[in-house]
Amino acid sequence: MYDEQRKYLAKAEESYLRVALVIEYDGTNYCGWQVQKNGVSIQQKIEEALQKALGRRTAIHGSGRTDAGVHALGQVAHFEAQTDIPADKFFYVLNDLLPQDIRIIRSYEVADDFHARFCAKGKHYRYVIHNARAKGAVNRLYSMFVPVPLDMGRMEEAAKHIEGTHDFSAFCAAGTDIKGTVRTVDEVRLGRDGDYIIVDVVGSGFLYNRVRIIAGTLIAVGKGKMEPAEVKEAIDKKDRTLAGATAQAQGLFLVEVFYTAL
């Protein structure tokens, strides 16, 4: 009897799996990543698909939240399950059960101590600005439209002030309840693709709305409404009101989450 039990437990242990998912989503029709009372969230849709696949409620843990309308090319989440489905097959199984605007790009087994949020070493966000005379139709949900010509040189100068380790109080949504606001931005890189200005922000320990405030501030500098040096001043004075407005959600993409060992 004990032997039987041991065998059973050994088998259970064997089939106990921790799986990471890399997820692309179009945030247009969702209230954001996290489960909320009002509106449908991306996390909820994936948990519902997982429940259908596994036959039981299973929670997933994302690398962090994204707001309503924000998109992801490579959000990461993990879950634990007792299942015979191989980790790399969840990619197929879940895509069959998910709506077309949420796609699992990859699924793979991770170590028992992997946690999508706590093990994340950094993130790559992208902000897309459509800088043209006329607003577009095709990219309207995937960029912020700015009809005023933007000076890329000024924006690049301002971006340099943001890079580095700073107290980012000025670039953090007011009322954010977190311990300390000192964070590191490794890179703020600007690029142009036709009428689009692409702002890539790579860093660790992101603060709520930081990338959207960085984008809004760079837009203000590009328009000539702020001087590049005033960006440094906003950081030094830790004053949110000295930075630019929070840029629109639909221009933001979570591109990649970095982990030391994948």
Q: Catalytic residues, which ones?
A: 67
Shortest approach of a copy of itself to residue 83 CB, angstroms? 21
Of 167, 197, 198, the closest CA to residue 185 belongs to: 167
Count the helix, strand and coil residues of the chain and give each as a percent rounded to the nearest 5: 30, 30, 35
156 contributes a contact to a copy of itself by CB under 8 A: no
Report the C-alpha dihedral over residues 65, 70, 73, 77, rounded to 10 degrees: 20
142 contributes a contact to a copy of itself by CB under 8 A: yes
Shortest approach of a copy of itself to residue 217 CB, angstroms? 25
> Quick one: 103 or 238, whose CB is closer to a copy of itself?
103
Residue among 1, 111, 138, 174 that touches a copy of itself (CB under 8 A): 138
Shortest approach of a copy of itself to residue 11 CB, angstroms? 32
206, 126 in Cβ contact below 8 A?
no
95 contributes a contact to a copy of itself by CB under 8 A: yes
Residue among 97, 105, 152, 198 that touches a copy of itself (CB under 8 A): 105
61 contributes a contact to a copy of itself by CB under 8 A: no
CA distance 249 to 262: 29
Shortest approach of a copy of itself to residue 26 CB, angstroms? 5
Segment lying near a copy of itself (by CB under 8 A), choices 134-142, 170-178, 208-216, 222-230: 134-142
What are the counts of helices (DSSP H) followed by strands (DSSP E) for the chain? Answer: 6, 10
200 contributes a contact to a copy of itself by CB under 8 A: no
103 contributes a contact to a copy of itself by CB under 8 A: yes
> Quick one: 217 or 250, whose CB is closer to a copy of itself?
250
Decide the pairing of beta strands 120-130 and 196-204: antiparallel
Question: Taking the CA of residue 63 as centre, how many other CA atoms within 13 Å lie in the half-sphere pointing to its CB?
Answer: 24
100 contributes a contact to a copy of itself by CB under 8 A: yes
CA separation, residue 185 to residues 162, 166, 244 (Å): 7, 8, 17
Segment lying near a copy of itself (by CB under 8 A), choices 9-17, 133-141, 152-160, 220-228: 133-141
CA separation, residue 179 to residues 32, 183, 207 (Å): 23, 11, 11
> Quick one: 91 or 208, whose CB is closer to a copy of itself?
91
| Residues 6+ away with beta carbon under 8 Å from 172 | 178, 181, 207, 208, 209, 210, 213, 240
How many other C-beta atoms can be found within 10 angstroms of the C-beta atom of residue 178? 10
Shortest approach of a copy of itself to residue 247 CB, angstroms? 18
Site size for a copy of itself, by CB under 8 A? Answer: 22
29 contributes a contact to a copy of itself by CB under 8 A: no
Note the residues at the interface with a copy of itself (CB under 8 A): 24-26, 71, 73, 91, 95, 100-106, 134-138, 140, 142, 253
